[in-house]
Structure formats: structure tokens, C-alpha cells
């Protein structure tokens, strides 16, 4: 395994682990915020889900800019 592929695998693992934690705790977070404002809970839920895709989009842009 080359050092480059090792760092890519590490980055992917960290991203997936953090996304799994966010998705695991998402219902608890949204329900807690929903006690104060249901609309805010919806917005926070959408933002947390979109953040998962935004990380991969930003990483792909970074990789393209480096010419890989």
C-alpha cells in the first residue's frame, strides 16, 4: 500500500466514521431542538445531512484541483 493510498483510506475512514456518528445522533439532536422550534429542527436536520455530501463534494474539488 503506497503512502498516498494509505492517506486516502485514512481520510475516507475518518469521514465515514464522523458521518456515522452524526447520523446515529441525528434523531436525538433534532428532537431536542424540536422542543424549542420545529422549524429550526428541520433546518438543522437538513444541514447535517447535506454536510455529509458537502464533505465529499469539497474533497472531490480539491482532488481535481491537484490534478489527480
Domain map of the chain by residue range?
3-65
Looking up cell 441525528 gives: 26
pLDDT for 68: 60
pLDDT in tens, 19-50: 899 889 999 999 999 999 999 999 999 998 89
pLDDT at 16 over 90: no
CA 11 to mean position of chain CA atoms? 12
pLDDT for 46: 94
pLDDT for 6: 84
**What sign for the dihedral angle of Cα 48, 53, 55, 57?**
negative
The three cell numbers locating residue 41: 429542527
pTM for this structure? 0.71
The three cell numbers locating residue 8: 486516502
Distance CA 44, CA 51 (A): 10
Amino acid at each position: 500500500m503506497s503512502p498516498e493510498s494509505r492517506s486516502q483510506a485514512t481520510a475516507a475512514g475518518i469521514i465515514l466514521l464522523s458521518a456515522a456518528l452524526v447520523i446515529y445522533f441525528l434523531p436525538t439532536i433534532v428532537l431536542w431542538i424540536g422542543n424549542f422550534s420545529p422549524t429550526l429542527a428541520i433546518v438543522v436536520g437538513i444541514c447535517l445531512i447535506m454536510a455529509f455530501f458537502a464533505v465529499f463534494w469539497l474533497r472531490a474539488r480539491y482532488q481535481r484541483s491537484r490534478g489527480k
